[in-house]
Chain A
């Protein structure tokens, strides 16, 4: 009980943008260093990993493709949680978080689609097929772009926050569809082989580099996300300061 109280206490503390900026300033350098180290370790393990007996060296595309795909879904989940934070608790940083996450998520989704297409060319013999998983991820990409367009279309951040939050929550329906599309429909894309009942089906020599890369890219996501949130807070402060300056200049002019 006391732990939850202290945790919510800390959570509320972070709602103050200044406190968040201090926290981000303290954490970001460490997070960045750890991200670089883990990514380097992951890359090293990727180079060392054995080739697949059927796919040859193209299997190494997996080590970047799969983390990107996971992160594209995780980012949308984070945006949905932020949307809940905006609508339910009116957490002042939730909408900053959602706005900062959208372009990063769109970039990860685009990279997942591109790397998947590069992998599909030698393996399936085609750049693109309209199968359930590819189509649903493509829809996810379109939704990211729609959300970004809506956020940028409104000047007032308070107003765009709630509108974007509602749209994000409605679009969350797509996430379970992506996750289970390979089970519900019989598709060209292979079924889940890591997070499944009865343990992963891929060999440990390939699984470990994959997991390290996934951790590395997740850390990269959080680093970028925190930096983008910091930029957004600073940008809003600059706008507010400019308004105050303009108002005081106007007052001086009338005097």
Chain B
């Protein structure tokens, strides 16, 4: 399992600079916002947390179809499925999700404080947004694993994965943004939405791998 994790991380870091493209996309989305809403610094500071969340969500969706596609192309996905007698396939999927998150989503989280400065956010708001992103984005990857596994047999599944996954990620977005706002604005609570966000991540850490493993098995036979 550790070997698989290291292999996936190495592949993710090497293959075609996927990490850099993700960060660039995130940067581009955030840079487009001031052109859309105008360069009013107060307004930008107010919508900053929401914009960071939406940018991170879109950038995460961008790379999701590569989660199983590359392994399917070179045949190693079949080997992983055949090895499911020794290693439970759901665990394999979970490991692959973790590796994917580490290589292509964690850099986004690390880059988000810098982008928060662009949006003229306060330090407390930047910290809270980064923390919620750190806790919430694994849920997006884990939900996305289901979509990626379901669409793995399709030749051009990338857009379809985003379309079928986006409705399911809305709760993550709602609680992530409300927790980020709760840390700054006084009457809104921070702890409650933050705990719900954590619960969503843990919930999908169980549901996602099992559903994705079932979909992968059915796509193989």
Contact B211 A169 (CB under 8 A): yes
How many residue pairs bridge A and B at CB < 8 Å? 63
Residues of A within 8 A of B24 (CB): none
Q: Please report the C-alpha to C-alpha distance between residue A143 and residue B214 in the assembled complex, in whole angstroms.
A: 20
Q: Please report the C-alpha to C-alpha distance between residue A225 and residue B218 in the assembled complex, in whole angstroms.
A: 26
A41 to chain B, nearest CB (A): 37
From A145, A147, A153, A163, give the contact of B218 (CB < 8 A): A163
Name which residue of chain B comes closest to A169, CB basis: B211
Contact A146 B150 (CB under 8 A): no
A174 to chain B, nearest CB (A): 8
Q: Chain B at the A interface: mostly helix, strand, loop or mixed?
A: helix
Mask: chain A, 121-150; 1 = CB below 8 Å from B; 0 = not: 000000000000001000100110111011
By the criterion of a CB under 8 Å from any partner CB, how many residues of chain A are at the interface?
24
Contact A153 B160 (CB under 8 A): yes
Contact A162 B218 (CB under 8 A): yes
* Residues 37-94 of B at the A interface (beta carbon under 8 Å): none
A170 to chain B, nearest CB (A): 5
By the criterion of a CB under 8 Å from any partner CB, how many residues of chain B are at the interface?
23
B33 part of interface (Cβ distance < 8 Å):
no
Binds A, one of B2-10, B130-138, B166-174: B166-174
Known: A150-B151, A153-B154. A166 touches B219 (CB 8 A): no
Known: A142-B166, A153-B154, A159-B218. A170 touches B160 (CB 8 A): no
Q: Please report the C-alpha to C-alpha distance between residue A154 and residue B160 in the assembled complex, in whole angstroms.
A: 12
Known: A139-B170, A150-B150, A150-B151. A166 touches B164 (CB 8 A): no
A72 to chain B, nearest CB (A): 14
Contact A139 B218 (CB under 8 A): no
Name which residue of chain A comes closest to B214, CB basis: A166
Of A139, A143, A146, A174, most buried by chain B (CB within 10 Å of CB) is A146
Mask: chain A, 176-207; 1 = CB below 8 Å from B; 0 = not: 01000000000000000000000000000000
Mask: chain B, 144-175; 1 = CB below 8 Å from A; 0 = not: 00110111011001001001101110110000
From B150, B166, B168, give the contact of A163 (CB < 8 A): B150
Residues of A within 8 A of B154 (CB): 153-154
- Please give the residue numbers on chain A whose beta carbons come within 8 Å of chain B beta carbons, in ascending order: 87, 135, 139, 142-143, 145-147, 149-150, 153-154, 159, 162-164, 166-167, 169-171, 173-174, 177
**Cross-chain pairs A/B with CB under 8 angstroms, 10 sampled:** A139-B167, A145-B163, A166-B146, A166-B149, A166-B150, A167-B147, A170-B143, A170-B146, A170-B207, A174-B168
